[in-house]
Homo-oligomer: A and B are copies of this chain.
Amino acid sequence: MRMTTLCLVLGLLPALSVAAPVPADSPTGIAFPEGYQDWRVISVSHRHDNNTLRIILGNDQAIQAGRAGETTPWPDGAILGKMVLKDTAHDAWDTALVPAAFVHAEFMVKDSARFEDTGGWGFARWLGRDLKVFGEDASFAQQCFACHTPMKDNDYVFTDPVVLP
């Protein structure tokens, strides 16, 4: 029985698991945060101008800071991920909007020194389910930063963490 299990592990699993290609690094120098799917939730939002639902996730440093209320500023090492999905009415509950197509994944990486020119945050975005890297060069981050500038007093972050009871 043990040998069978071993054979399965050694022989079959590698054939079954097709590893997704690693997305290209962002032009801002940020690597795609592998394993972000296991991060815990910071908040959610719904934009009714472009009909998207958003799931905002945080790495461990971000979760810890969010729960402690230590987010002005967020600590170096914190990463926030925003998963953007088109909304659609639920088939069986027409006043509920639920996620449909995956639009993009975007991340803010806090590193005060490295990203001094953009408020201490590095910006990165990957498009669609195939996670095509966004931005011809690093200059796109200036647009991200410009949009986040009204939130300067909140360390340039739109999201306030939900602390669950």
Contact = CB atoms under 8 A, between A and B. Distances in A.
A45 B53 CA distance: 7
Interface stretch (A3-11, A35-43, A112-120): A35-43
Size band of the interface chain A makes with B: 35 or more
A162 B90 contact: no
Contacts of A38: 40
Q: How many copies of this chain does the complex contain?
A: 2
A97 B46 contact: yes
Interface of A: 20, 36-41, 43-49, 53-55, 57, 83, 85, 87, 90, 92-93, 95-99, 102, 105, 128-131, 150-151, 158-160, 162, 164-165
Top 7 closest pairs, chain A to chain B, by CB: A49-B95, A46-B46, A44-B44, A129-B165, A37-B164, A46-B97, A41-B41
